[in-house]
A = this chain, B = another copy of it.
């Protein structure tokens, strides 16, 4: 555990601070005292047994900074015990991954001395977050000093404070030294090596490391497609058989690469100890509410909520809502095409500058409407998913992702589908595809990295200046760092990053035989994407809390579904091409039947391929089975001892 802040900070706090807790400026003193007592309290009394200290910013120019900023840390022993609570898996002395236990700490592989360095920074912060999140109300009826902020036994204290605005935010602190080392090996040197996934995982946790692993894997997987696509573009190949070849290659390739990714991610997750980390044993997420009861599996006391209600909410409210939104989105698209036709007809009747400008109006209106719809829908989806009351963070994320995904897919591709299959205009399709791909890439890079970076730099300079004025010559790097990071933007999770890759995959695969160059553009985009994403994680956003993840979750399903849809679209496109039609001059019906037959064969082949390739590599399967076998044997022995 390299808790980067040096000993010179000891004048500010007596322990290495890991997490910052910012309460509202006007928080009542009794609420603060109560919260700190709960955080510091013994575990057997329902406390978190953590260390917490107030940061005092010197007032200056009458401009008082927020005084209610706290840093939270912990003793090493408490962290190790917390590692057992959250169920971390670590490498055992025999090379397999085992559930960590404090009592048995000495038998784990990298445990030396008192355990310094055994837990990564990200893990320590995750443990502290978990302990804070699971601080649950006991018999308090409300937060002291706030009679309106009601509490009931089992309610997460931190969650209630956050929802009522008393707790402004809490986030993990960067570790400047580690960050410097990481960013050097990650993106500062021009290199042909792979990304330092283990270091990323060490610093940011498994969820983010898996995203970068996937990004790298996906980019490499697109390289063959890109290479094959270039000659199609250069030599203007428009032959039917070459297109078919390209489409078939794409299909097989996308199936294989998605299946192989599962194996890669299983290998990574096993080594990081998250593959055996079972969801059912996880503590419920902070937002989960219900009557306090006992978990039937672990026997722990925690909120319990009937699964029938949860299913009713999903199927009777969320699903109809999503379908309604999709219908609305289609409707808006149809209005757009009507408007466009109307604009073209007016221009054709009377072509002058005014009507020429009018030609662009429908597209602009459509783009704006779509953006607004996406935004509104995103809020609605978050609200609904929250209301569905998922017990696990992963389940919450998956349902949220699924909702947003479907809507974005329709918004992004519906117009392309319309052009391809209703208007059947391949030239327009190719143009639209290229325009969409290139503009979205450029916009993305600017909006995602450069703009935030520029804003961040301006803010940094301001804060720096302010701190200099406040402190005079005193060097108080911790205060300055906290001040800086408090004002950084919050990273909202890998959602948008995955969504971007998902849409890019759609551009590459759905219409690949119309625009083979798409893969080249996406590869180029992703090479810069790796750097800009890495940079934004290190310097633009607050450090995020680590999320243990065993796989990329619902995104795997999303990518697989996209590759199935792409088989259908590519077959349909080939069927529409004039070259193929020329092969069957006498009977269009026969041509369609043959194309449909080929499509079915390809789909069947795809399913067989996915079925035949095992999701987890053999050697990992053996290790998992060994863990299970040893566990069952241990249980047999224990039953005996208990009798």
Select one of B104, B593, B629 contacting A592, CB under 8 A.
Answer: B593
Q: Are A629 and B280 in contact, with the CB atoms below 8 A?
A: yes
CB-CB nearest in chain B for A296: B622
**Min CB–CB distance A613 → chain B (angstroms):** 11
25 contacts between A and B (CB under 8 A): A98-B636, A99-B632, A99-B635, A99-B636, A101-B636, A101-B640, A104-B636, A104-B640, A106-B643, A278-B625, A281-B629, A296-B622, A297-B625, A297-B626, A568-B600, A588-B589, A589-B589, A592-B596, A596-B596, A627-B635, A631-B632, A634-B635, A634-B638, A637-B638, A638-B638
**With A280-B625, A297-B622, A626-B297 in contact, do A98 and B635 touch (Cβ < 8 Å)?**
yes
Task: Determine the chain B residues whose CB is within 8 A of the CB of A193 once the complex forms.
Answer: none
Q: A571 to B338, alpha carbons, bound, how many Å?
A: 34
**With A589-B592, A622-B296, A622-B297 in contact, do A278 and B628 touch (Cβ < 8 Å)?**
yes
Q: A151 to B628, alpha carbons, bound, how many Å?
A: 34
Task: Determine the chain B residues whose CB is within 8 A of the CB of A568 once the complex forms.
Answer: 600
Task: Determine the chain B residues whose CB is within 8 A of the CB of A627 once the complex forms.
Answer: 635
Does A298 belong to the interface (CB within 8 Å)? yes
**With A634-B635, A635-B98 in contact, do A298 and B629 touch (Cβ < 8 Å)?**
yes
Given contacts A104-B639, A596-B596, A631-B631, 10 further A-B contacts (CB under 8 A): A98-B635, A99-B635, A280-B628, A281-B632, A307-B618, A592-B596, A631-B632, A634-B634, A634-B638, A638-B638
Q: A92 to B642, alpha carbons, bound, how many Å?
A: 13
Does A579 belong to the interface (CB within 8 Å)? no
Does A424 belong to the interface (CB within 8 Å)? no
**Cβ < 8 Å to B, chain A residues 421-478:** none
Does A107 belong to the interface (CB within 8 Å)? yes
**Copy number of this protein in the oligomer?**
2
Count A interface residues, CB 8 Å.
Answer: 40
Contact with B along A533-571 (1 / 0, CB 8 A): 000000000000000000000000000000000001000
Interface majority SS (helix, strand, loop, mixed), chain A: helix
Q: A332 to B441, alpha carbons, bound, how many Å?
A: 57
Does A103 belong to the interface (CB within 8 Å)? yes
Does A630 belong to the interface (CB within 8 Å)? yes
**Cβ < 8 Å to B, chain A residues 280-322:** 280-281, 296-298, 307
Task: Determine the chain B residues whose CB is within 8 A of the CB of A98 once the complex forms.
Answer: 635-636, 639
**Min CB–CB distance A399 → chain B (angstroms):** 13
Q: Are A297 and B600 in contact, with the CB atoms below 8 A?
A: no
A interface residues (Cβ-Cβ under 8 A, vs B): 92, 98-99, 101, 103-104, 106-107, 278, 280-281, 296-298, 307, 568, 588-589, 592-593, 596, 600, 618, 622, 625-632, 634-640, 643
Q: Are A639 and B278 in contact, with the CB atoms below 8 A?
A: no
Q: A589 to B568, alpha carbons, bound, how many Å?
A: 17
Please name the 7 residue pairs, one residue from A and one from B, whose CB atoms are nearest each other, closest first: A631-B631, A634-B634, A634-B635, A634-B638, A280-B625, A104-B640, A631-B635
CB-CB nearest in chain B for A600: B568
Q: A638 to B635, alpha carbons, bound, how many Å?
A: 9
Most buried by B among A281, A592, A631: A631
Task: Determine the chain B residues whose CB is within 8 A of the CB of A589 once the complex forms.
Answer: 588-589, 592
CB-CB nearest in chain B for A638: B634
Q: A618 to B297, alpha carbons, bound, how many Å?
A: 12
CB-CB nearest in chain B for A568: B600
**Min CB–CB distance A443 → chain B (angstroms):** 32
Task: Determine the chain B residues whose CB is within 8 A of the CB of A592 once the complex forms.
Answer: 589, 592-593, 596
Q: A631 to B280, alpha carbons, bound, how many Å?
A: 14
Task: Determine the chain B residues whose CB is within 8 A of the CB of A631 once the complex forms.
Answer: 628, 631-632, 634-635
Task: Determine the chain B residues whose CB is within 8 A of the CB of A629 once the complex forms.
Answer: 278, 280-281, 297-298
Q: A82 to B18, alpha carbons, bound, how many Å?
A: 55
**Min CB–CB distance A94 → chain B (angstroms):** 10
Q: A169 to B483, alpha carbons, bound, how many Å?
A: 84
Task: Determine the chain B residues whose CB is within 8 A of the CB of A298 once the complex forms.
Answer: 629
**Min CB–CB distance A345 → chain B (angstroms):** 27
Q: Are A640 and B103 in contact, with the CB atoms below 8 A?
A: yes
Task: Determine the chain B residues whose CB is within 8 A of the CB of A99 once the complex forms.
Answer: 632, 635-636
Task: Determine the chain B residues whose CB is within 8 A of the CB of A640 once the complex forms.
Answer: 101, 103-104
**Min CB–CB distance A322 → chain B (angstroms):** 13
Q: A637 to B596, alpha carbons, bound, how many Å?
A: 59
**Min CB–CB distance A637 → chain B (angstroms):** 7
Q: A592 to B600, alpha carbons, bound, how many Å?
A: 15
Task: Determine the chain B residues whose CB is within 8 A of the CB of A626 once the complex forms.
Answer: 296-297
Task: Determine the chain B residues whose CB is within 8 A of the CB of A104 once the complex forms.
Answer: 636, 639-640, 643
Select one of B101, B618, B625, B643 contacting A107, CB under 8 A.
Answer: B643
**Min CB–CB distance A484 → chain B (angstroms):** 42
